[in-house]
A and B are shown apart, each in its own frame.
Chain A
Amino acid sequence: MTDPVSGLIYILIFPGFLFLFLYALFLAFLDRKIAARMQQRVGPPFFQPFADFIKMLGKEVIDPAGVDRVIFDAAPLVALAAVMTAYLYIPIVGNSPLAFQGDLVVVLYLMSLPTIVLFLLGWLSRNIFSAIGGIRSVTQLFIYEVPFFLALLTPALMAGTWSISEIVIWQQKNMWFVFLQPIGFIIALIGLQAKLERTPFDIPEAETEIVAGPWTELTGRRLAIMDLTVDVSFVVGSALVAAVFLGGPLMPWAVTPGWLAVVVGFFLFLAKTLAVLLILSSIKVATGRIRIDQLNDIGWKYIAGASIVQVGIVLVMNYLWVYA
């Protein structure tokens, strides 16, 4: 990353923010379309998320009585900035040029920020439904975050590195982690579903119980930015899972020349994120919402237990095979 122009292009245009923006909205469309077709509906046209985004940017912004406008305006932007930053560390077309030891932890940390922002928005809204939703979103965060982190850190444990790019390279040399750690993969998908607050984990924004939870008082561009944040989180999350468990953008063998590697890597990235999307959409369509106390039970009893079992298995495998 010595050339500043190519660096800027990487961050801003491709595979940076502009591509991320378009791809996030495209995935949002695809998610809705798949869900609609599974329910035998027609679903939206492909430009619907774009249209929604532009429409909401132009809508009136309503301040609930007594809110702190500065924080209310800034919080969605912070959430969006956090997930967009997280995206830069994930290998898209080959290794990320910004990669460093420990970027996996940074990405996980940045991906938790939108939930905190949602809690903050719910608390700030001075609305009982928003407050309940905010509390629920944080409660849910405590339940899924531990297994989700454990599930994503076990590949790091086995690869012996905290860098996503190096985990990808390790998988190129050995084997995809989805085969080595199937339990971890399933838990990562469940955790991602919960992080994105989609059914069955849409407890914080349960429409029929608490209207829209923390989203109730969001209007205009705040809502647009928050919606975009969720869409971007979707891309980041599925790219992260694809990188850590599905071998990321690298083929199992080295591809030459370099430009071909970039093209192949890009298409692999698309294919793998779309596969994750299909699984997540199917979960969304096939389930209903569970209650927060039931999630607490399931989360701590089974999901957290399974992730600890996965860590144990990895330790044993490390001892017997990887470092033997």
Chain B
Amino acid sequence: MPEVVVSIGPHHPALKEPVNFKVVVDGEKIVRLELDLSYNHRGVEKAAEQRDFIRVLPLMERVCGICSHSHSTAFAKGIEELMQLEIPPRAQYIRTIIAELERMHSHLLWLGVAAHVIGFNTLFMWTWRDREAVQDTVEEMSGNRVHYGMNEVGGVRRDLTPAQVTAALERLPNLEERIKKYVDMVSSEETMLIRFRGVGKLSKEEALKYGTVGPTARASGVDYDTRKDDPYLAYADVPWNVVTDTNGDVYGRTRVRIGELWESLKIVRYCLENLPEGSIRVTAPRNAPTGEILSRYEAPRGELAHFIRTNGTDKVERVDIRTPTLANWTSVAICLVNQNLADLPVIVAAIDPCLSCTSRITLLDKQAKKTGVMSLDELIWRNRSRDQEQVRP
């Protein structure tokens, strides 16, 4: 049978964000995968070079909606290290709490998406329902559900009141019970086992060779976890374990993520109960000294690396964001070879792709060299003119 190219995306129900796969298939089997990410490049890295440290953090948060705290913490952590600031422990703990709550809501979201991809919509509804509880907790602490805005260079912006701590602690037992149920479901629910087991298998050697990060790597038995390798925030003080699995397939990745939900819950509880007293920020100088730093952070999807170069001013000279999804794409192309076409959405979803991170992005007006919003009329006008262009021969 001849090879056929199936073009999936940029608009496809399995993809939550635009990406294009040119899948070369031979019958039902996948032979090769070509990838095009260029659908929403926003030029965040260029825009970050033109903003001072105060104004760049909201921009960093908006690199991605789900891991907004990851990006801003990675950036703030790097700048603080360059400025040689000592961050008060209370600020570190608050950052850790938000980070782990973010990981929980991201993993619950992933579990729902994975269930939706195999058509198991019930689990999708249930996990997203439980995710609401996590987001409500974050909203009570930071005032927002997604872009928390908790970080600033030198500490955190908002303190946790005792009432907030108690409210958050009260929510945890309920979540704990739900996570126990999911652990049970994943190991016993036949429809999930039948679709996840043995799909997208990646051995330990392959996982290392193709540079996978995060739960994808840990499912193959690679115990790289930045929180342990290079402890930042409060992770050195908190007792927790790196979750690994030996299956290496989508089932293993599910188990790792659910295990991490459990660990995150433990970390959040520990941090809330042992929140140190003290100030929540130190005053940061306006300028950072010349230097370079590779700031690594374990985002929910894997290791996030911000390479920051400063030049003595209040702006960065270069910030290079390596997102976990970009690191995992190479392994996806390998996983997919010789798999069924029907398994493509599952395998792609298993790395939890976050494309808005990967093609980093802001509305950059090339002519006015300014960022801004676009009016609805203009969008309609543009679309209309584009349609007319296409109609014209």
Seen from chain A, the residues whose Cβ lies within 8 Å of a Cβ on chain B are 38-41, 128, 199-200, 202-203, 206-209, 211, 285-294
B192 partner residues in chain A, CB cutoff 8 A: 288
The residue in B117, B118, B119, B120 that gathers the most chain A C-beta atoms within 10 A of its C-beta is B119
Q: Are A208 and B117 in contact (CB-based, < 8 A)? A: yes
Known: A199-B119, A288-B118. A39 touches B125 (CB 8 A): yes
**A290 interface neighbour in B121, B191, B344, Cβ under 8 Å:** B191
Please report the C-alpha to C-alpha distance between residue A200 and residue B190 in the assembled complex, in whole angstroms.
Answer: 11
Chain B, 97-130, contact with A by CB distance < 8 Å: what is the 0/1 string?
A: 0000000000000000001111111110110010
Query: Which residues of B lie under 8 Å from residue A290 when comparing CB positions?
Result: 191, 194-195
Contact, CB under 8 Å: A289 / B119: yes
Decide yes or no whether B234 CB sits under 8 A from chain A.
no
Question: Which candidate, B6-14, B351-359, B372-380, is the interface stretch facing chain A?
Answer: B6-14
When chains A and B are docked, how far (Å) is the Cα of A122 from the Cα of B146?
41
Given A211-B12, A288-B120, decide whether A41 and B115 contact each other with a Cβ distance below 8 A. no
- Residue pair A207, B120 in contact (C-beta under 8 Å): no
- Docked complex Cα distance between A207 and B122 (Å): 15
Known contacts A199-B119, A288-B195; 18 additional CB pairs below 8 A are: A39-B121, A39-B125, A39-B126, A41-B125, A199-B121, A200-B191, A206-B119, A207-B14, A208-B13, A208-B119, A208-B345, A285-B121, A288-B118, A289-B120, A290-B191, A290-B195, A291-B343, A294-B194
Which of A206, A208, A288, A289 counts the most B-chain CB atoms under 10 A from its CB?
A: A288
- For A199, A202, A208, A285, which residue has the most chain B Cβ atoms within 10 angstroms? A208
Complex Cα distance, B7 from A128, in Å, reads 9
Task: Tell whether, in the assembled complex, residue A209 and residue B122 are in contact, meaning their CB atoms are under 8 Å apart.
Answer: no
User: Contact check: which of A202, A211, A291 meets B13 at CB < 8 Å?
Assistant: A211
With A and B bound together, what is the CA distance between A202 and B125 in angstroms?
19
Contacts of A285 in B (CB 8 A): 121-122
| Per-residue interface assignment for chain B, residues 115 to 149, with 1 indicating a CB less than 8 Å from any chain A CB and 0 otherwise | 11111111101100100000000000000000000
Contact assessment for A207 and B119 in the assembled complex, using a CB-CB cutoff below 8 Å? yes
Query: Does the CB pair B129–A209 fall under 8 Å?
Result: no
CB neighbours of B54 from chain A (8 A): none
Q: How far is the CB of A20 from chain B (nearest CB, A)?
A: 28
* Contact (A208, B14) CB under 8 Å given A199-B119, A285-B122, A291-B342: yes
**Are A209 and B342 in touch, CB under 8 angstroms?**
yes
CA distance A294 to B196 in the complex (A): 12
**Which residues of A sit under 8 angstroms from B287, Cβ to Cβ?**
none
> Closest Cβ of chain B: how far from A267's Cβ, in Å?
31
Residues of B contacting A211 in the complex (Cβ-Cβ under 8 angstroms) = 12-13
In the complex, the chain A residue whose C-beta lies closest to that of B349 is A208
The residue on A at minimum CB distance from B129 is A40
Contacts of B13 in A (CB 8 A): 207-208, 211
Query: Closest 9 A-B residue pairs measured CB to CB?
Result: A288-B120, A289-B119, A288-B191, A39-B125, A208-B14, A288-B118, A287-B191, A288-B119, A208-B345
B330 on interface, CB distance cutoff 8 Å: no
Given contacts A207-B119, A287-B191, A288-B195, contact A128 B14 (CB under 8 A): no
Known: A41-B125, A200-B191. A287 touches B14 (CB 8 A): no
A279 smallest CB distance to B (angstroms): 16
A282 shortest CB reach to chain B, Å: 10
Q: How far is the CB of A194 from chain B (nearest CB, A)?
A: 14
Say whether B340 faces chain A, with CB atoms less than 8 Å apart.
yes
Cα separation A208 to B9 with both chains bound (whole Å): 11
Known: A287-B191, A290-B194, A292-B342. A209 touches B121 (CB 8 A): no
Residues B122 and A38 in contact, CB atoms below 8 Å apart: yes
In angstroms, Cα B12 to Cα A293, docked, is 23
How near does chain A come to B252, taking the closest CB pair, in angstroms?
18
Residues of A within 8 Å of B129, CB to CB, are: 40
Distance of B175 from chain A, by nearest CB (Å) = 16
B117 with A293: CB separation less than 8 A: no
User: Could you write out 26 A-B pairs with CB less than 8 Å apart?
Assistant: A38-B122, A39-B126, A40-B126, A41-B125, A199-B120, A200-B119, A200-B191, A202-B119, A206-B119, A208-B13, A208-B119, A208-B345, A209-B345, A285-B122, A287-B191, A288-B195, A289-B118, A289-B191, A289-B195, A290-B194, A290-B195, A291-B195, A291-B340, A291-B343, A293-B28, A293-B340
Chain B residues with CB under 8 A of A289: 118-120, 191, 195
Shortest CB distance A238–B (Å): 22
Q: Could you say which residues of chain A place their CB within 8 Å of the CB of B195?
A: 288-291
**Please, which residues of chain A bring their CB within 8 A of the CB of B341?**
209
Find chain B residues with CB under 8 A from A203 CB. Answer: 342
Chain B residues with CB under 8 A of A202: 119
